[in-house]
């Protein structure tokens, strides 16, 4: 079974700055970790990142049409993109929203997610391991 791991703007900069907030794992490391976890769980995992909202919406439509489970870190879009939320609400398989940092301990504008209400579940503040936990939860739903 395929799982799409979709990442929003700036997540490709992981490991290059703000290590106190996001840790030292690079985006390339994250991709490798997710692919390895996926292999162990018997998933075909594809990790993507974009700073283009329309591209993200297109990927979510692709997942909706193929009933592919999604792990989504919408990054800044989490807090304001109704377009991303509306695309998420059309998904036909589970959606796990992941945030590396604990958005509730940070600036007030990060406390609200427009995605959470349409997600199956949310993992926040557990670092990049949150992605791996999301994959494990999805493996229980197979």
The reply, when asked if residue 61 is annotated as ligand binding, is: no
Q: What is the DSSP string of 9-42?
A: TTGGGTTTS-HHHH-S--HHHHHHHHHHHHHHHT
Q: How far is CA 5 from CA 98, 111, 130, in A?
A: 10, 22, 12
Closer to ligand CA2 by Cβ: residue 1 or 133: 133
Burial of 127 (C-beta count, 10 Å sphere; 0-12/13-18/19+)? middle
Binding residues for ligand CA2, per CB under 6 A?
Answer: 10-11, 13-14, 16-18, 22, 73, 75-76, 78, 99-101, 103, 110
Active site residue 27: no
Residue whose CB is less far from ligand CA2, 22 or 59: 22
Q: How far is the CB of 62 from ligand CA2 (least distance, A)?
A: 21
| Helices 27-41 and 129-140, axial angle in degrees (round to 10) | 20
Cβ closer to ligand CA2: 81 or 101?
Answer: 101
- Min. distance of Cβ 65 from ligand CA2 in angstroms? 25
Let me know if 52 is a catalytic residue.
no
Active site residues: 22, 99
């Amino acid at each position: 079974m395929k799982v799409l791991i979709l990442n929003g703007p700036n997540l490709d900069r992981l490991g290059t700055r703000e290590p106190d907030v996001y840790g030292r794992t690079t985006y390339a490391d994250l991709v490798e970790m997710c692919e390895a976890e996926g292999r162990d769980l018997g998933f075909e995992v594809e990790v993507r990142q974009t700073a283009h909202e329309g591209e993200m919406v297109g990927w979510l439509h692709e997942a909706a049409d193929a009933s592919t489970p999604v792990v989504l870190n919408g990054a800044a879009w989490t807090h304001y993109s109704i377009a991303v939320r509306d695309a998420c609400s059309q998904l036909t398989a589970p959606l796990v929203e992941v945030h590396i940092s604990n958005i509730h301990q940070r600036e007030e504008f990060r406390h609200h997610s427009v995605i959470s209400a349409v997600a199956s579940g949310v993992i926040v503040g557990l670092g990049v391991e949150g992605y791996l936990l999301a994959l494990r939860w999805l493996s229980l739903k197979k």
